[in-house]
């Protein structure tokens, strides 16, 4: 790995953390999903997975260690893998907005599955049901945020990647 990759991964992980913190006063409205979609489409799988791992590790340093850590280490890289697998099939911001909406709608369910391993299936199901309204907000806000910001951020990332000769 080149030095500029290490710096890029660190900076984009920090930007993701800052974006999450900036919107933390709004429940389940975030730019993390958008950022990981942008990073994966512009920088590829390897760099984006590393950004996700550094982001989650930073979250642990900020919020402490608990069962949510395993969910984060699974869920955010899963998003990167899904975006990478879509590849050229997702051709517009609408495709990514739909993906972001679905990710937001199912985020609580994915998290409930990991929590079930620690506290049992009944707890996981109750956890998921209890958070359904938050998942609806999460999915809807992801859709709107991605629809509005995907094109300009993707254009900016592509221009910077070309300028820095990142391939």
pLDDT greater at residue 87 or residue 23: 23
What's the pLDDT score for residue 167?
61
pLDDT tens profile 82-115: 999 998 888 889 999 999 999 999 999 998 999 9
Write out pLDDT tens, residues 35-80: 999 999 999 999 999 999 999 999 999 999 988 899 999 999 999 9
pLDDT of 131 strictly over 70: yes
Task: Count Cβ atoms below 10 Å from residue 66 Cβ, excluding itself.
Answer: 10
Burial status of residue 143 (CB atoms within 10 A of its CB: 0-12, 13-18, 19 or more): buried
| CATH number (domain holding residue 83) | 1.10.1760.20
Number of domains in the chain: 1
The whole-number pLDDT of residue 90 equals 83
Residue with tokens 């994915």: 110
Give domain status of residue 165, yes or no: no
For 36, the domain range is 3-160
pTM score: 0.94
**Averaged pLDDT of the chain:** 94
pLDDT at 5 over 70: yes
Look at residue 64 and tell me if it is in a domain.
yes
User: What mean pLDDT comes out for the span 136-144?
Assistant: 97
- In sequence order, which residues have a C-beta less than 8 Å from that of residue 22 and are 6 or more positions away? none
Question: Residue 119 pLDDT more than 90?
Answer: yes
Q: What is the pLDDT of residue 87?
A: 86
**Is residue 134, in this structure, part of any structural domain at all?**
yes
Domain assignment present for residue 125? The answer is yes
């Amino acid at each position: 790995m080149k030095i500029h990759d290490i710096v890029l991964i660190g900076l984009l992980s920090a930007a993701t953390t800052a974006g999450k913190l900036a919107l933390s006063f709004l429940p389940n409205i975030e730019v993390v999903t958008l950022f990981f979609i942008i990073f994966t489409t512009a920088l590829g799988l390897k760099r984006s997975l590393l950004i996700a791992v550094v982001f989650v590790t930073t979250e642990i340093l900020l919020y402490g260690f608990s069962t949510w850590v395993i969910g984060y280490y699974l869920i955010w890289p899963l998003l990167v893998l899904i975006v990478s697998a879509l590849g050229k099939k997702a051709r517009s911001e609408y495709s990514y907005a739909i993906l972001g909406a679905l990710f937001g709608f199912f985020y609580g369910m994915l998290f409930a599955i990991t929590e079930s391993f620690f506290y049992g299936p009944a707890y996981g199901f109750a956890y998921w049901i209890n958070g359904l309204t938050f998942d609806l907000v999460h999915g809807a806000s992801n859709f709107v945020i991605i629809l509005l910001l995907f094109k300009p951020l993707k254009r900016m990332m592509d221009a910077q990647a070309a300028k820095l000769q990142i391939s």
